[in-house]
Amino acid sequence: MDFFFEDLPCTSEYSPKTDYDDSQRAEGSFDVLKANPSSVDFTGTREQHTSVDDISRKVQDLVEKVNENRNRDQKVMDNFQENVAAKVTEMFQQMKEHMFAVYEENSNAMQVKLQKLSEVLESCTELNKELMGAGQALASLREGLAISCAPEP
């Protein structure tokens, strides 16, 4: 976790001196510790560890909040699905009832029209019988006229 070291305060600075060789430079870098041990903060590691623990807790809290939000969202979606299903069922039932009402109206209208058609057909049958009777009467009259008009031998 090297990225946490950037946030730690710097307690000592190293500035290379050009007139020392590498061995003297290495020795000089430890002189800061010998000369002033209180200038080095050993609690930084503990603070870093504590901040890592804090960050871990915060991350865990965030993950828990995300999961809680997801659960809440799932409940909302489930509730929405139930409401939509109930509304669709209700609308379907209303549409079905309306369809049956239209069927009933159409059936009643057809019944009235069929009744009128039946009456017209009965009337046509009666008129046909009368016409047949009139035709037979005319045929009989023609025969009677033909017999009376015929010369006697």
Give the mean pLDDT of the chain.
79
Tokens describing residue 139 = 């045929």
Phi and psi torsions of 19, nearest 5°: -90, 0
pLDDT for the residue 44: 52
d(CA 37, CA 48): 20
Helix, strand, coil percentages for the chain (3-state, nearest 5): 85, 0, 15
Res. 8 pLDDT band, cuts 50 70 90? very low
pLDDT for the residue 34: 44
pLDDT for the residue 84: 98
C-alpha distance from residue 93 to each of 52, 90, 141 (Å): 60, 5, 70
State the Cα angle at 64 between 60 and 70, rounded to 5°: 145
State the Cα angle at 97 between 93 and 99, rounded to 5°: 115
d(CA 143, CA 135): 12
Res. 145 pLDDT band, cuts 50 70 90? confident
pLDDT for the residue 55: 92
Lowest mean pLDDT among 44-48, 135-139, 143-147: 44-48
Lowest mean pLDDT among 42-46, 76-80, 93-97, 116-120: 42-46
